[in-house]
Amino acid sequence: MSPAEAQQRKAELRAKIAHHNELYYRRAESTISDFEYDRLKRELADLETQFPDVGGTTITGGGLPQNRSSTAAAANVFIGHNPTYYQSVFLSATAPAIESPTVQIGDDRTEGFARVKHRQAMTTLDNTYDEAELREFHARLAKALGTDDLGYTVEPKIDGVAVSLTYERGKLVRAVTRGDGEEGDDVTVNVRTIRGLPQSLRGAPIPAVIEIRGEIFLGDEEFRRINQQQEEAGEPAYANPRNLAAGTIKQLDPKLVASRKLEVVLYGLGYCEPAVVDSQSAYHAQLKAWGLPVVEQFWTVRGIDAVWAAIQELDRTRRGFAYATDGTVVKLDRFEQQRHPKIGYRGMAADGRAEAARKLSPRWACAYKFAPDRAETRIRDITIQVGRTGALTPVAELDPVFLAGTTVKRATLHNADEIARKDVRIGDAVLVEKAGEIIPAVVAVLLEKRSAGSQPYAFPRSCPVCHTAVTRAEGEVVWRCPNPLCPEKVRRRIEHFASKASVDIEGLGEEMVALLLEKELIRTIPDIFRLKVEDLLPLKKSGEVWARNLIDGIEARRTADLWRVINGLGIPQVGSAAAKDLARTFRSLDALAVATEADLLRVGGFGEKTAAAVRAWFAEPTNRKLIRELEMAGVTPTPPAAASSALSGKTFVLTGTLPTLSREGATAKIEAAGGKVSGSVSKKTHYVVAGEEAGSKLDKARSLGVEVLNEAQFLKLIEGG
């Protein structure tokens, strides 16, 4: 490669990495796998060593490429587990540097959150996929410490979202994302909704202040459940649990966060005053003793061969873990050795000054990552799926290939932009991968195998089903078929209405919907309720019993639960949970149809986006017509059982900040249960719901002997009916 070519390739790689950093950290998306991303960084790091930039200093990572799930420290942050060992890290004045993304690690900070400085930086971590490099890591440490007999811990590397929890005198006071490593977003309210996380430490010793680090994640089952809801709501599925966890922890609505079962696992030590343990293995035991959620398994071993054996064993057991594990983290066990002057942090000079703070990564730890399960195959065709909301999703039809226990025949290509960016073409040899991700994805095109006559893929400009020109809303990547009468949209809408998740009409599955449409016995959802046995008889030989059963199944659903009917309408943003909220609040389709945005915003947990989506749906004349026709066809949905009489007429006063509920959310719940909310406490008040920093209202309640509830007790009262 000539120097000029190298400069150009470096520029390309930097742009690509920057693009993926933005997606991964700020938008909780990823369109390439970690493995692919690590490869880009490795290539750039190699080029930077071989062909240094001219006209400035390139700040390179030094050593191995760093993980994107990590961030560098910035200036003026302290490193070390115990204040007595702190070394402050300052940026020394250097020539203007060309900042390379091999060291410029992502920043997850987003709008809408308060920023909090970490007491101790959250640094990055070197990673490798190569056994020889892992052995070099050990060789460096052995040389520095003058012995080969070193104690290590081998831990799972959790593929989640990094978080730092501060406990003061044993109480959880703050949860902060990594941010840029120096300062992150305050996500305390969201983290408090994690059920498995104790708000106080148990037992002793309890440090005055400790930063405990870990990863927030979503289990596979919960991931599937949420994706199913997405599907019900006509929204695209999330690609993998990590991105969904990252997106969830950055939600501004804690109620939404609470509705998803986030979990957390803790393994890391930040600032701690006074010090409580002197090794990583003792720290794991201490975390467990405090009652905190910890890794299922870790190994304490001596020497690199034992490290390697532990890694092999972890590779065999990791699929049974609650979280996705994409590798291991090997750490020098004794803190004293971690702090040894020859070890410490890469990027920090002996005087504690960092030549560039962003270079900081521990020399005492190394991530060994498992290469993902991937396989080579060929794209036979690219087909376009049209969803219920008209979204066009490109799908690669593959030569079947065996991958991680299943035969893969199709893989998502995400959207038109992604196809263009990767230049994926029909006939291409490609690599498909399943790594933590449940949906297989095309991760790379093998350009060297591309046939001479291949043509770039032209994303359709019109709907492949009804040929209406497709449209794309500003700022969106999804192209949609705008035709409300598109037969594919109609089919999927009817299917969805009749499905188990919605109105649950027995006997009316995908095939039957398709058949009824084909025979022109139905065109719309209300048509289902106009079907007669005679209409169905010609469809099947000796079909009378069958036809009767189907009609009975339909009859039985004329009075389906209101929430099921609302869910079945396929309103964007509205899945079963939101449908239940709407049913409870409005109690009829007519009332819902005329609800204003303000009314909708009062529904517990409804944000502006959902309220606007509901409003827009009912503003659409074809949708209003659908509601009218459902009524005319004799559909009379059943509202939820009347609010518990125990609460009807009861007066509540809200005071202080509740951990998860907003004031509006709590009000909506009370009203939905038949209660009233009042602004001041009197003898007539039945309950005062008090949160943090509750003031005089709480005092008054106490003096009047009014029952005071915290949020949990309140929810129990409301939900327990």
Site track 172-211 with ligand IVH (rule: CB under 6 A), x = hit: ----------------------------------------
For ligand IVH, the binding residue among 268, 387, 394, 604 (CB under 6 A) is: 268
Q: Is 377 in the site for ligand IVH (CB under 6 A)?
A: no
Indicate left, alpha or beta for 570 from its phi (over 0: left) and psi (-120 to 50: alpha).
left
For ligand IVH, the binding residue among 35, 78, 217, 267 (CB under 6 A) is: 267
Nearest residue to 256 via CA among 578, 8, 26: 578
Closer to ligand IVH by Cβ: residue 211 or 215:
215
For ligand IVH, the binding residue among 41, 81, 157, 358 (CB under 6 A) is: 157
449 is an active site residue? no
Closer to ligand IVH by Cβ: residue 223 or 267:
267
Using CB under 6 A, which of the segments 150-158, 255-263, 334-342, 658-666 binds ligand IVH?
A: 150-158
User: CB of 172 within 8 A of CB of 199?
Assistant: yes
Token duo for residue 241? 């649990």
CB of 353 to ligand IVH, least distance (A): 19
> What is d(CA 687, CA 676) in angstroms, rounded to the nearest whole number?
10
CB of 415 to ligand IVH, least distance (A): 28
For ligand IVH, the binding residue among 162, 392, 547, 706 (CB under 6 A) is: 162
Using CB under 6 A, which of the segments 66-74, 232-240, 499-507, 537-545 binds ligand IVH?
A: 66-74
CB of 214 to ligand IVH, least distance (A): 8
> What is d(CA 510, CA 498) in angstroms, rounded to the nearest whole number?
9
> What is d(CA 502, CA 564) in angstroms, rounded to the nearest whole number?
5
Q: What is the 3-state secondary structure (H, E, C) of 271-315?
A: EEECCCCCEHHHHHHHHHHCCCCECCCCEEEECHHHHHHHHHHHH
> What is d(CA 99, CA 44) in angstroms, rounded to the nearest whole number?
12
Q: Is 69 in the site for ligand IVH (CB under 6 A)?
A: yes
Query: If binding means CB under 6 A, how many residues of this protein chain bind ligand IVH?
Result: 16
CB of 124 to ligand IVH, least distance (A): 6
Strand ranges (DSSP E) for 304-372? 325-332, 345-346, 361-362, 365-369
Q: Is 529 in the site for ligand IVH (CB under 6 A)?
A: no
Closer to ligand IVH by Cβ: residue 67 or 193:
67
Closer to ligand IVH by Cβ: residue 80 or 390:
80
Residue of minimal CB distance from ligand IVH? 67
Torsion of CA 172, 173, 178, 184, to 10 degrees: 170
Alpha-carbon separation of residue 91 from 100, 117, 364 (angstroms) = 16, 17, 22
- Residue type present at position 107: D
Closer to ligand IVH by Cβ: residue 45 or 516:
45
CB of 698 to ligand IVH, least distance (A): 40
> What is d(CA 32, CA 418) in angstroms, rounded to the nearest whole number?
10
Closer to ligand IVH by Cβ: residue 214 or 387:
214
Q: Is 155 in the site for ligand IVH (CB under 6 A)?
A: yes
CB of 320 to ligand IVH, least distance (A): 17
Site track 629-648 with ligand IVH (rule: CB under 6 A), x = hit: --------------------
Please, what is the end-to-end C-alpha distance for the chain in angstroms?
73
> What is d(CA 686, CA 674) in angstroms, rounded to the nearest whole number?
13
Q: In what order do the strands lie in the sheet with 676-678?
A: 676-678, 651-655, 687-690, 707-709
Closer to ligand IVH by Cβ: residue 181 or 394:
181
Nearest residue to 108 via CA among 222, 243, 309, 239: 243
> What is d(CA 639, CA 631) in angstroms, rounded to the nearest whole number?
15
Nearest residue to 502 via CA among 441, 557, 572: 557
CB of 104 to ligand IVH, least distance (A): 15
Using CB under 6 A, which of the segments 154-162, 400-408, 418-426, 659-667 binds ligand IVH?
A: 154-162
For ligand IVH, the binding residue among 125, 212, 277, 579 (CB under 6 A) is: 125
Nearest residue to 519 via CA among 536, 497, 506: 536
> What is d(CA 177, CA 162) in angstroms, rounded to the nearest whole number?
6
> What is d(CA 635, CA 656) in angstroms, rounded to the nearest whole number?
44
Q: Is 362 in the site for ligand IVH (CB under 6 A)?
A: yes
For ligand IVH, the binding residue among 269, 367, 382, 508 (CB under 6 A) is: 367
Residues in 319-348 at the binding interface with ligand IVH, rule: CB under 6 A:
329
Residues in 544-603 at the binding interface with ligand IVH, rule: CB under 6 A:
none
CB of 456 to ligand IVH, least distance (A): 36
Alpha-carbon separation of residue 438 from 241, 242, 249 (angstroms) = 9, 11, 21
Tell me which of 10, 16, 41, 157 is the catalytic residue: 157
**CA 462 centroid distance within chain:** 32
> What is d(CA 168, CA 183) in angstroms, rounded to the nearest whole number?
19
Q: Is 123 in the site for ligand IVH (CB under 6 A)?
A: yes
Question: What's the DSSP call for residue 637?
Answer: P
Closer to ligand IVH by Cβ: residue 1 or 285:
285
| Half-sphere exposure of residue 666: CA atoms within 13 angstroms, side-chain side | 29
CB of 364 to ligand IVH, least distance (A): 8
Closer to ligand IVH by Cβ: residue 245 or 398:
245
Binding site for ligand IVH (CB under 6 A): 67, 69-70, 123, 125, 155, 157-158, 162, 215, 267-268, 329, 362, 365, 367
Residues serving a catalytic function are 157
